[in-house]
Amino acid sequence: MEAQAPLLETVARVAVMAATADGRFDPVTAGELAGLGLEVSVLGPLFEVRPQEVEVGRHGLLLRSGERHGVLLPQVALEHGWERETFLDRACGKAGLPAGAWRQPEVQVLAFTAEVFSEE
């Protein structure tokens, strides 16, 4: 979530990891390469935000509670037609927390913006 290397190096490293080592999907095969598109979200700085200040479509979310954390990009809520509370609840789910956990004082709600670049 925070830059550790120049953007070009980070994008290249993360693209390879996403294509070959994301446990949610089978690794990309050579035969699939021609049909793939690329989307890069360049994240702005993280900042604390009160839940009622979250703007769907503008803010991405990072929720933290202890060792648990969940991240959703700004475009995810728009793609699914979620309202603010659903977006917050789904970020809780990504963190392995129950829906509504964002209301608890021990859950830190952070937001960020993103510049999105894509190609087909």
* CA dist 51 → 12, 48, 118 (Å): 33, 9, 29
Q: Please provide the average confidence, as pLDDT, over all residues in the chain.
A: 94
Taking alpha carbons only, the member of 12, 65, 59 closest to residue 38 is 12
Helix, strand, coil shares, percent, the chain, to 5: 35, 25, 40
Question: Percentage of residues in the chain with pLDDT exceeding 70?
Answer: 99
Enter the tokens of residue 12: 């290249």
Q: Which residues 6+ apart lie within 8 Å of 76 measured at CB?
A: 60, 82, 87, 90
Taking alpha carbons only, the member of 15, 10, 21, 77 closest to residue 43 is 10
Taking alpha carbons only, the member of 8, 76, 80 closest to residue 42 is 8
Exposure pattern of 5-44 as b/e (b: 16+ CB <10 Å)?
Answer: eeeeeeeeeeeeeeeeeeeeeeeeeeeeeeeeeeeeeebe
* Cut 0.75: pTM above it: yes
Fold of 42-119: Dna Ligase; domain 1 (3.30.1490)
| Between 38 and 65, residue with greater pLDDT | 65
* Residue ranges of the chain assigned to CATH 3.30.1490.150: 42-119
The pLDDT tens digits of the residues spanning 90-116 come to 999 999 999 999 999 999 999 999 999
